[in-house]
Amino acid sequence: MGILDFLTGEFIDVIEWTDDTRDTMVWRFERYGHAIKYGAKLTVREGQAAVFVHEGQIADVFGPGLYMLETNNMPVLTTLQHWDHGFKSPFKSEVYFVNTTRFNDLKWGTKNPVICRDSEFGMVRLRAFGTYSMRVTDPAKFMAEIVGTDGEFTSDEISYQIRNVIVQEFSRVVAGSPIPVLDMAANTADLGKLITGAIGPVVANYGLSIPEFYIENISLPEAVEAVLDKRTSMGIVGDLHSYMQYNAAEAMGQPGSAAGQGMGAAIGAGMGLAMGNQMAAQQMGQQQQPGWGPWGNVPASAQGGVAPGSRQAPWGGGGGGGGAPPPPPPPPPPPPGGGGGGGWPPPRPRARGAGGGAPAPAPPPPPPQPAVEKVWHVAVNGQTTGPFSKASLGRQAAAGTFARDSWVWAPGQDGWKHAEEIADLAQLFTVAPPPPPPAAEGTGKTDP
């Protein structure tokens, strides 16, 4: 091998770039002295572009393909070098490979809320985030405006600048958009087109384009979202009174809240009152049923009816010879001022002293209470009627519907008795004077 062949072998004869990364946008082909052999092969793959820089000035740009570096396919560099036709000497030049594929899934978002005016809520603050993609459309401009002499330029170095441009245009578009806040989620595609059209001319000055832009979410502050959630739960009624009732009901449903504890106590008291009323109603209903008296079943003889002129035992078949009837339930305490003897309440027993001395003085009696009119129940044809006052029974006796042998009962009375056995009622049948004695024979005088 001669000296000339050895020297020519030191120059570059193949120029190419195979990229294994996903974020490299520009890569410089490194060679000591940047010496390139005349007639060397340049391989530019799909999604790439090769930019030749001679003495700090962009010369030629090559798209995808295989090239022989000669004067006929390097017009700019030939002019800069003042190469004559047939020049075949080595030359020096920097070669930059530019990645022209799409860089996808780049993030963007608002650092601070964007204030805008809404027709329904007034002034609101919005946050938004999403993704976008970018690509290099003008390698020469991208090299001149952004890359410079950077030997390895990645997408992270330009994504921050693109993100600032997107947020600025998003704020401007949303603030001037007539779309209501509640309808923005359904119109993110239209908003994305508006924002893409706004940022397109700006990034074109960098030699870039934004082929895809997405708005993933537009959110309100947490306080506003909480109010919207409650309003949605109510069915968006828009009524303040209904809204307050809804909040009160929600508070009552929480066991630990004060409203829930108060409502539980009120419900318990209401249930107790309802049970008491139901028991009282059942007792009253039993008293009004046929064949039942105030203190038990009406005697069998009374259920079959009693003729005014006949006498019959309260619990037997005929007037005599029947077995002893079962005792009725114990009578209740007599009302104040009623018959039956003895005062009410009964006197308290006297307590003796600790040493067995004189008994302690009795407490003073309670003040007298107003008298209560006594009433009686009457058994007629197996049914309990009444109560009737003494005056009412007197009118019935005068009409013939109330007789001496009618069965009667009054509070405090020991079972059913005939009316003539009751001192107060026996007077009703002795109002009329007795019949006159018969006259003596022959004198015209009556016997005493």
Domain parsing of the chain, residue ranges: 3-99, 103-220, 375-431
Q: In the sheet that 48-54 helps form, which strands lie side by side, from edge to edge?
A: 57-62, 48-54, 94-99, 24-29, 152-154
Strands (E), 162-288: 208-219
190 in Cβ contact with 177 (< 8 Å): no
Find, among 419, 409, 402, the residue nearest to 308 by Cα: 402
- Tokens at 108, concatenated: 């963007």
d(CA 191, CA 177): 9
d(CA 206, CA 37): 33
CA 155 to chain CA centroid, nearest Å: 47
Cis peptide before 332 (omega within 30 of 0): no
447 in Cβ contact with 438 (< 8 Å): yes
Question: 14: exposed, middle or buried (C-beta count within 10 Å: 0-12, 13-18, 19+)?
Answer: exposed
d(CA 244, CA 284): 43
Please tell me the CATH superfamily of domain 375-431, with its number: GYF domain (3.30.1490.40)
The CB density around residue 190, as the number of other CB atoms within 10 Å, is: 13
Which sign does the torsion angle of CA 233, 234, 235, 238 carry?
negative
User: Does the domain at residues 103-220 carry the CATH identifier 3.30.930.10?
Assistant: no
Low-confidence ranges of the chain (pLDDT < 50): 1-9, 80, 82, 85, 288-296, 300-331, 333-334, 337-343, 351, 353-356, 448
Find, among 312, 319, 340, the residue nearest to 404 by Cα: 312
376 in Cβ contact with 388 (< 8 Å): yes
